Amino acid sequence: MSCLEFILFFPPVGFNKQKLKEKLKGKNILITGATFGIGANLTYKLAKTGANLILVARTEQKLMAIKKVVEHYGATAQIFAADLYKLEEVDELITNLKKIDGGIDIFISNAGKSIRRSIFKSLDRFHDFTRTMTINYYTPVKLMLSIIPMLQKNKGHVINISAMNVLLTPAPLWAAYQASKTAFDNWFRSVQAELNACNVETTSIYLPLVKTRMILPTKAYRKIPAMTPNHVANIVCKSIITRRKKYAPWWAIFGQISSVLLRRIFEKFTIKNQRKKLIS
Ligand SMILES: NC(=O)c1ccc[n+]([C@@H]2O[C@H](COP(=O)([O-])OP(=O)(O)OC[C@H]3O[C@@H](n4cnc5c(N)ncnc54)[C@H](OP(=O)(O)O)[C@@H]3O)[C@@H](O)[C@H]2O)c1
């Protein structure tokens, strides 16, 4: 893909840094999955706003290193190492979140796990489904249930880092990821009106492929153009200012229309493709 084509598919996103700073000074921002990829990029960007960042992930050493960088930029960070596959660790995290002075103002639900695996290779791997469902659905629901009162009090904002796939016809090999991301997307869109009516803003961000370690195991993705995590961080920063309800790349609509109009053709094609793979 040429540079021009890349810009066409992923047009640069800018935001007013001064406005963001004014908006976030002294605010408490909870970011899950802050150690790598999108979460880490976003953390570094928000560190320049003077906000208090509450960072969650498993890798404690990385969290400590990121905290140092955040403080170097003049913001403050509170770090919580937690394995979000384990609901008892989520409970412990919630106990700590409830002690935070002023409560949570913005929650960026970003931690996630993706799995690409054939159903035939999943027959003895029920844990793939419980894990993805826990981190991509139960954990953000559990966190939301406990922080909604704080968000309501602070006229807060929740940003869900979702995937464009949830807007399209489900693709083979992605059952665990697709089902769990769709579950939270649906839950979130369902509670959206209730939250918005109480002055809690909501944003769903539907991302295409993003160049992070998440896509590394999938060889086929190495040559496909992907957004950068820095680009995603800009989208999130802009969404904090504009409080838009939804972001999806401009071309996602063509995928959605095709998902409806060309569904039968897509299904026939995927069956043929899977048969070919079984023979080879
Ligand atoms: N990359 C893509 O192509 C793409 C596309 C669409 C949507 N997304 C979404 O974007 C979000 C961020 O993904 P990414 O691409 O930035 O992936 P990434 O680079 O793998 O980062 C995932 C983050 O989640 C944390 N995490 C993973 N498992 C965890 C667990 N059990 N407990 C606590 N934290 C955990 C990781 O930290 P530790 O390992 O330190 O725990 C890391 O900070 C996900 O929700 C993903 O579904 C990604």
Contact 203, 243 (CB under 8 A): yes
Separation CA 168–CA 107 (nearest Å): 26
Quote the ligand 1 centre to 262 CA distance (angstroms).
31
> Is residue 70 in a domain?
yes
Between CA 130 and CA 118 the distance in angstroms is 16
pLDDT for residue 4 is more than 70 = yes
| Ligand 1 centroid distance, CA of 275 (Å) | 32
C-alpha–C-alpha distance, residues 128 and 51, integer Å: 36
186 and 256 both lie in a single domain:
no
Mutate to test the pocket of ligand 1, among 38, 63, 132 (most ligand atoms within 8 A of CB): 38
220-233: average pLDDT: 91
52-57 vs 201-207, strand pairing mode: unpaired
Is position 1 within any domain? Answer: no
Q: Are residues 52 and 142 located together in one domain of the fold? A: yes
Measured from the CB, is residue 37 less than 6 Å from ligand 1? yes
Q: Do residue 191 and residue 267 come from a single domain?
A: no
Domains in the chain, number: 2
237 close to 46: Cβ distance less than 8 angstroms: yes
CB–CB of 226/209 below 8 Å? Answer: yes
The phi and psi torsions of 30 (rounded to 5 degrees) equal -90, 125
Q: pLDDT (tens digit, 9 = 90+) per residue, 35-91?
A: 999 999 999 999 999 999 999 999 999 999 999 999 999 899 999 999 999 999 999
Q: Are 105 and 81 a contacting pair, CB within 8 Å?
A: no
User: Chain-wide mean pLDDT for the chain?
Assistant: 95
Tokens read off for 12: 């640069």
Polymer length in residues for the chain = 280
Same domain for 273 and 150, yes or no, is: no
Whether 280 shows a pLDDT value over 70: the answer reads no
Q: What is the DSSP letter of 121?
A: G
Q: Please indicate, yes or no, whether residues 174 and 273 belong to a single structural domain of this protein.
A: no
- Pocket probe for ligand 1: among 62, 87, 110, the residue whose CB has the most ligand atoms within 8 Å is 110
Active site residue 177: yes
Give me the domain span that covers residue 266.
Answer: 252-280
Predicted local distance difference test score (pLDDT) of residue 273:
84
